[in-house]
Amino acid sequence: MAATLLVQPDPSDPRLTRRVTGLDHTGQAIETSVTVERPLTLYLNGQEIVTMMTIGDRPEDLAVGYLLNQGMLRPQDTVTAVEHDEDLGVVVVRTDTRTDFEQKLRKKTLTSGCAQGTAFGDLMEGFANVTLAPDAVLRTSWLYGLLRAINTLPTLYLEAGAIHGCALAQGEDPLVYMEDVGRHNAVDKIAGWMFREGVSGADKIFYTTGRLTSEMVIKSVRMGIPILLSRSGFTAWAVDLAREANLTLIGRCKGKRFVALAGQSRILFDTDPDQVPPEDSRHWRRNSREASL
């Protein structure tokens, strides 16, 4: 049975995928689903900030999460309104105080995230001052259970591919699953949801289908989440940053296998891998091909 989440994608939403015709490798006519991407222009109060390419769901969460991870919003700021106009492709975030977006927009160094990436200098602000929960624990039974739960979700990923997914979990239970054409968008959606719902990351686990880059590590730390998982691999800088922040960093989670390169002291090995049921390979086989995009 598929897991029940607080928030998850709706593969049947006609706005998110489109059927197109083509030919397969044998020359036969086919019809297949493709992911739809559309521009979304973000305003902070009266200032235009950025135009993002996105699948278009959860625009309010995406907007707030983007501003948080760019440092244009601070955790203590009060958001008075988030207004989305689907026809215009615009979302406006309003606050009760002035922000410092002019300074932020001068940042030019982008991370390796899909599409426009993220201004690296903004991501690093406050990184060294974050203390992740030292008593957080990851049981291997939770890890296997979480992967199994995510593997049974009805996702856009299985419907059309060309998309990244991220999950916020507690123990082995996924709470929120977000997808988008860029992994940074999927992360920002979860960050925005956490801010708007007042959810702490201290006792949570973050899962991503994308590779573990410096951006993924820094955003997880900024969100206060002590454990980061992925089916994909690592960059060297991601490992260095995770060790600096005492973030538990686990990649190459496929089937019964995983590799932990930082924060290993949080892991409790309470499950014999030989007793773990095999998982459906539809997710991770496709992801192996797409995660490097």
Q: What confidence tens digit (pLDDT) does each residue in 52-66 have? A: 999 999 999 999 999
* CB atoms closer than 10 angstroms to residue 103: 11
Q: How confident is the model at residue 281 (pLDDT cuts 50, 70, 90)?
A: low
Q: Is residue 35 within 8 Å of residue 181, measured between CB atoms?
A: yes
Query: What is the fold, at CATH topology level, of the domain defined by 138-290?
Result: Cytidine Deaminase; domain 2 (3.40.140)
Distance of CA 281 to the CA centre of its chain: 21
pLDDT at residue 250 tops 70: yes
Residue 95 tokens read as 């606050």
- Return the number of other C-beta atoms located less than 10 Å from residue 210's C-beta: 25
pTM given for the model: 0.86
- pLDDT one-digit tens code per residue, 75-134: 889 999 999 999 999 999 999 987 666 555 654 444 445 544 554 455 676 777 888 999
- pLDDT at 162 exceeding the cut of 50: yes
* Ranges of each domain in the chain: 138-290
Residues near 186 by Cβ (< 8 Å), separated by ≥ 6?
164, 165, 166, 178, 179, 180, 208, 210
User: Tell me: the pLDDT tens digits for 6-47?
Assistant: 888 788 888 898 999 999 999 999 999 899 999 999 999 989
